[in-house]
Copies of this chain bind each other. A is one copy, B any other.
């Protein structure tokens, strides 16, 4: 890079990533000074003449921003798994490359999935709430007090069975689960990628469901891990939930709108399923304290913290910087979106 490149970075980055960025010679770094989201006006003003922009989920990358940057812009490096905040077509027609960070959060999300399964089965939210409100002294021991279903012997159902689903399965095997059934966009078809070598030669049956009815009927634990598309939106519906087992639990770590929240609230009310664990929900983050889902003692909702580990966020930051630099130099990125 003989020429001095202007790069705009919409946050202060985590230690290692910040050091990597600052270590590169020949960069003119213009950086939003805090860990809070960058001001849009600041971004538009400073984009002018930038060769690269490293931005977050909360920064919209549209025609306006791209025009503000001008012809110098070569690369957008997004610190994110999704790229819904980026106008891909606008980048494509100008030949601007787009980097993102989809792979490094598999472990963090799979770990959280296990937490949510166990919390849904073992009534984690209800248990904490009883203690916090001082009810423990008034809970006389009885054989079925605060009991939930046990995971040993369960059939685990996966709606979507990609890398994160398979990483979750890897963790579930020593819990003594007995069977796996999964539904992908190709019902009845064997999944193509066996990311961790678990599927071929597995000690328990791991089988594709022929349709959503089979997935609903047979799962003791149903894990929603599919992409949000027109055909998966509200796939977990009143109809779906009514076919689930009374002692089953639902876990959503994918995207909120795959589950119809009203239907879920009704199913919990009626005892059609035992419990739920949600990392995502429709209309997040705009969930107020009076939201009906928060009145359900058997539902645990956490604020989209799937990838929220220090290690994962550091790695995402570092990969974003690497993608930015690769974009400037015309080299291969760690992960690049095909536009």
Binding site for B on A (CB under 8 A): 11, 13-14, 35-37, 56-58, 79, 107-108, 111-112, 114-115, 118-119, 121-125, 127-128, 130-134, 136-137, 139-153, 170-171, 173-176, 247, 284-290, 294, 300-303, 305, 308-313, 316-317
Q: How many copies, total? A: 2
The complex places the Cα of A244 from the Cα of B128 at a distance, in Å, of 25
The complex places the Cα of A115 from the Cα of B118 at a distance, in Å, of 6
A142: chain B residues within 8 A (beta carbon)? 11, 35-37
The complex places the Cα of A301 from the Cα of B129 at a distance, in Å, of 9
Residue of B nearest to A279 (CB): B127
Q: Do A114 and B114 form a contact, CB below 8 Å, given A137-B287, A142-B36, A148-B310? A: yes
Q: Do A150 and B310 form a contact, CB below 8 Å, given A128-B125, A285-B139, A302-B128? A: yes
The complex places the Cα of A56 from the Cα of B145 at a distance, in Å, of 13
Do B115 and A122 have beta carbons less than 8 Å apart? yes
CB distance from A131 to the nearest CB of B (A): 5
Most chain B CB atoms below 10 A, which of A130, A247, A288, A302: A302
CB distance from A179 to the nearest CB of B (A): 16
CB distance from A115 to the nearest CB of B (A): 4
The complex places the Cα of A313 from the Cα of B14 at a distance, in Å, of 47
